[in-house]
Amino acid sequence: MYLMYVDESGDTGLQNSPTRYFVLSAMIFHELRWHEMLESLITFRKHLRDTKGLKLREEIHASHFINNPQELVRIRRNDRLDIMKQCMDWAAEQSGMNIVSVVVDKHHHSNDVFEFAWKILLQRFENNINYRNFAGPMNADERGIVISDNTDGRKLQTLVRKMRRYNPVPNMQGLYGGGARNLRVSHVVEDVMMKDSSSSYFHQIADVVAYCVRQMYEPNAYMKKKGGHKFYERLDPVLVKKASYKHPLGIVEV
């Protein structure tokens, strides 16, 4: 079983939105790696506690870390930026880790951005399980489960159930002559599980990943000045580049 932890950056609004891009980022690893990943992450958090003063119970929430740290203002800004960089390095060093990101340019879409982005991500999760592209243990017949930050659970539930019955995917014009095939999702089991990121170390890492993806496209002044808009490149060893051959880092741009 592959576990996919998902978080987002940006918003899905199409009118008067402060962001142009909506990002979903997923950390994917096999259930057989879960305990060692968790122990490694707890050790990492203790390191941040001892070196940066970030308490184990305090949430790493990237969108507030730089410009609106609230009680974390006691940690110097440069140290908060370094925490984010270390989060990316932790993920990049994990054996069996897989990272997939979807970026929606809202200037090119008038439909439901939230549903569109999730449909793309779920299809990539399905395909990469089916084609055995993920690093880590692999059984003869694998499945996957989705664990999302606490977002619109009912909407996600409806989407996944629909994709198991009806999921039209456009054919490549050169190979199939256009049209679409009903490629139903069959490798993703159960409804999407929802977790509050404040109690999930894995989602806090995914949150930093998603934020760093969006900083590639619309960086704030501080991240650009300090090179934070290039942090996502640090994940190169664990990026699933087969998710998109059109981008050198495998980012699915739509």
Give 116-153 pLDDT, tens digit per residue.
999 999 999 999 999 999 999 988 899 999 999 988 88
Number of independent structural domains in the chain:
1
The long-range contacts involving 157-163, CB below 8 angstroms and separated by at least 24 positions, are 157/191, 157/192, 159/115, 159/118, 159/119, 159/122, 160/122, 160/185, 160/188, 160/191, 160/192, 161/191, 163/119, 163/122, 163/123
Share of the chain above pLDDT 90, in %: 88
Question: Hunting for tokens 């977790």 — which residue is that?
Answer: 195
Where in the sequence is the domain holding 88, given as residue range(s)? Answer: 2-253
The token pair at 115 is 């549903």
Domain CATH number, residue 96: 3.30.420.10
Q: Residue 172 pLDDT more than 70?
A: no
Amino acid letter, residue 63: S
Give the model confidence (pLDDT) of 177-196 as tens digits: 667 788 899 999 999 999 99
